[in-house]
Structure 1
Amino acid sequence: MAFLESLPAMPALALTGLLITVAIAVPTWLASIPLRDASLADRVWSAFIAVPVVFYAWHAGGDARLNVMVAITVAWALRLGIYVTVRNWGHGEDRRYQAIRERNQPNFALKSLWLVFLLQAVLGWIVGWPMLVASAPGSAPLGLWDGVGAALAIGGLLVETISDAQLARFRRDPANRGQVMDGGLWRYSRHPNYFGETCVWWGLGVMGLAAGGWTGAWALVSPLLMTILLLKVSGVTLLEQDIGERRPAYRDYIARTSAFIPWSPKREAAR
C-alpha cells in the first residue's frame, strides 16, 4: 500500500474507505450472478456506509464525538441490514431491480457490476463523509450542535424503526392483503421510514459540521445526497410512480396524507 502511504492523511483515509466499499461490492455482485438477484445490493447497502466508518474511527483513535457518531451509524446499519434481509428472504429479485435488468439487456450480469453494485458502493462511501470529517485531527470540541445533531439522528432512527415495525406487522396479517397501511406513523406520512432516515443523516451531518467547521461543510453532502435519493430517485418517486394503478385505494391515501414530513391528515379527504 505504498501509494496510500504517499498520500496526505485525509485523502489516504478517504481512498481507503472507498476501496473498502469496493471490496464489499465485488463479492456481492459475483454472488448475485448465479442467483439472478441484483437486489442483493440492498442487503449490503448499510455495510457500504458502516464498514468504512468503523475503519475511520479505528484509524483516528476515536474521540467522544466520533464514538457517538459511529455508535449511531452501526446501530442504523445493523437494524437496516437485518430488516431488509429478513423482509426480502426467499422473495427473489425486487421488482425495481427486475425493471433495471429488463432495461439493460443483453449482458446485464456484467453491467450490474457498475450500474448497481459499484454505484451503490460509491454512494454509500459519500453518505459516510460526516464521520470522515470528524476523523480529521484537530476537530472542534463537543458543543451544542453536537447535541442537536445526535438528538436528531437518534430520533430519526427511532422513527424509522417504529414505522418499519408497524408496516411489517400490518403486512403479516392476511386480513390486510391489498389494503393500505394508514395507521400509526403512516397516518401522518406516506413514508415515515424515509423521513426518519433523512433525520439520521442530517443529524450526523450536523455533527460532522460541528467537528470540522465550515472547512468541513462537505459533511453536508451526505444528508443532501440521501434526501435526493429518498425523495427523487429510489424512494418516494419510484415507489409511487404506478402504485395508484396497482392499488386504487392508495389514491385516496395520497390525497389525504403528507408525502414525507409527518403532518395531520387532510380532514376533507378523510371523510
Structure 2
Amino acid sequence: MQSESVGSFAAVSGVVLLVLVIVFSAVFVAGVARQRHRYVDAVWGSAFALAAVVTAAMTTEHGDGWRRWLLTLCTIVWGLRLSIHIARRGWGAPEDPRYAAMLGKARGNPTLVAYTKVYLLQAVLVWFISLPVQVGLVATGGSAWGVTPAVIGLLLWLLGISFEATGDYQLARFKADPANHGRLMSEGLWRYTRHPNYFGDACVWWGLFLIGAAAWPVPLTILSPALMTWLLTSGSGKPMVEAHLTNTRPGYADYVARTSGFIPRPPKRISGASD
C-alpha cells in the first residue's frame, strides 16, 4: 500500500470498528432488556459478514476484483451460516452458563462488566480477527506464487466450513433424539475430534488469510487467524466447553482420553473406556 492508501484504509477500518461497537451495543441493550446475554453469540458470525460488507462498500475503487468478491462472499457465507445455527440452537434457551458464571463472580456492576467484557470485547475481537479480510479487500497485486495461496486458501475455507457445518448438524440431530438425553456425542466427526466446529472455524480463518496473503500487506495480519485459533483452543472456546462437559457428561474423561482435542485423527484405543 502507498502512504495515501494506508491513510484511507485506516479511516475505513476505523469506521468498521465504530459500526461493530454500535451493533454490539444495541445487542447489549436487547440482552439487558431480555435478561439473556447469550444472544450476543448469534451476532458473532454475522458481525464478521458486516465488517466485510462495510469495508467492501467503502473501498469500491481499491483492490483486485476477484479477491474482493472471494473474500466478501466467503466471509458472508461463513458468518451468516454460523449466526443462523447459533440463533436456532439458542432460541428460548436459558442464559449461557459461561455468562451466568462470569456475572455471578463479577466485581462491581454486573451490567457494566457484561458490556465491557462481553459486548465491547467481542466488537474489538471481530474487528481485529477480520483484518485479513479488510486488508485483502483493498490490497492489490500478487506474488511469485501467483494465485496458488488463494487456491490453497479457498480449499482450506471449504474444508473448514464443511467440517463445521457437518459437525453442527450431527450434534443437533443427536440432541434432537430423546433417547440421547444426557448421553455424550461421540459419533460422526465427533469421533475424530472433540471440537469439529472449532477446527472448522480455524480452517476458515486461515483460509481467508491465505486467499489474500499473496497481496501486500495482508501477510502482516497473520496474528488475526492466530488469535482466532488461540481463542478456539485455549481461550473462550475449548477450555470452557470441556470444563462444563466434564461436570455434566458421564464418561467424558474416557472420551477425552481417546479423542483428539482439535485436529481430527483416528481415536485411540483405550482399554475399558466407554461413552
Query: TM over 0.5: same fold?
Result: yes
CA distance in 2 between counterparts of 1:83 and 1:161 reads: 9
Query: Alpha-carbon deviation of 1:146?
Result: 0.4
Query: Alpha-carbon deviation of 1:137?
Result: 4.4
What's 1:263 paired with? 265
> Is the 2:67–2:212 contact (alpha carbons within 8 Å) kept by the matching residues of 1?
no
Query: Alpha-carbon deviation of 1:230?
Result: 0.4
What's 1:14 paired with? 13
> Is the 2:48–2:76 contact (alpha carbons within 8 Å) kept by the matching residues of 1?
no
Query: Alpha-carbon deviation of 1:44?
Result: 0.8
The structure 1 residue matched to 2:137, chosen from 112, 126, 135, is 135
CA distance in 2 between counterparts of 1:59 and 1:235 reads: 33
The structure 1 residue matched to 2:152, chosen from 148, 154, 158, is 148
CA distance in 2 between counterparts of 1:11 and 1:199 reads: 27
What's 1:246 paired with? 248
**Equivalent runs, 1:34-45 vs 2, <5 Å:** 34-45=33-44
> Is the 1:72–1:154 contact (alpha carbons within 8 Å) kept by the matching residues of 2?
no
Q: Could you say what secondary structure the match of 1:155 adopts?
A: helix
> Is the 1:191–1:236 contact (alpha carbons within 8 Å) kept by the matching residues of 2?
yes
What's 1:170 paired with? 174
CA distance in 1 between counterparts of 2:114 and 2:245 reads: 26
Give the letter for the 2:75 counterpart.
T
Q: Could you say what secondary structure the match of 1:182 adopts?
A: coil
CA distance in 2 between counterparts of 1:25 and 1:247 reads: 33
**Equivalent runs, 1:225-240 vs 2, <5 Å:** 225-240=227-242
Q: Could you say what secondary structure the match of 2:263 adopts?
A: coil
> Is the 1:195–1:260 contact (alpha carbons within 8 Å) kept by the matching residues of 2?
yes
What's 1:221 paired with? 223
Q: After TM superposition, which residue ranges in structure 1, 4 or more long, deviate above 4 angstroms?
A: none
Q: Does 1:31 align with 2:33?
A: no
> Is the 2:47–2:79 contact (alpha carbons within 8 Å) kept by the matching residues of 1?
no
CA distance in 2 between counterparts of 1:244 and 1:108 reads: 27
TM-score (norm 1): 0.92
Aligned length: 264
> Is the 2:139–2:215 contact (alpha carbons within 8 Å) kept by the matching residues of 1?
no
CA distance in 2 between counterparts of 1:139 and 1:12 reads: 22
> Is the 1:206–1:220 contact (alpha carbons within 8 Å) kept by the matching residues of 2?
no
TM-score (norm 2): 0.91
> Is the 2:160–2:201 contact (alpha carbons within 8 Å) kept by the matching residues of 1?
yes
CA distance in 1 between counterparts of 2:162 and 2:198 reads: 12
Give the letter for the 1:216 counterpart.
V
What's 1:184 paired with? 188
What's 1:66 paired with? 68
CA distance in 2 between counterparts of 1:253 and 1:166 reads: 17
CA distance in 2 between counterparts of 1:168 and 1:178 reads: 14
CA distance in 1 between counterparts of 2:140 and 2:241 reads: 43
Give the letter for the 2:104 counterpart.
E
Query: Alpha-carbon deviation of 1:191?
Result: 0.5
CA distance in 2 between counterparts of 1:30 and 1:10 reads: 30
Higher helix proportion (structure 1 or 2): 1
CA RMSD in angstroms, aligned pairs only = 1.8
Structure 1 residues 245 and 33: alpha-carbon distance in aligned structure 2, compared to 1, 3 A threshold = closer
> Which deviations, in whole Å up to 9, do the C-alpha atoms of 1:69-126 show, x marking residues without a partner?
1111111111110110010010121111101110115421122111110100000111
> Which deviations, in whole Å up to 9, do the C-alpha atoms of 1:40-84 show, x marking residues without a partner?
210111122110111112222261012111111111111110110
CA distance in 2 between counterparts of 1:48 and 1:21 reads: 7
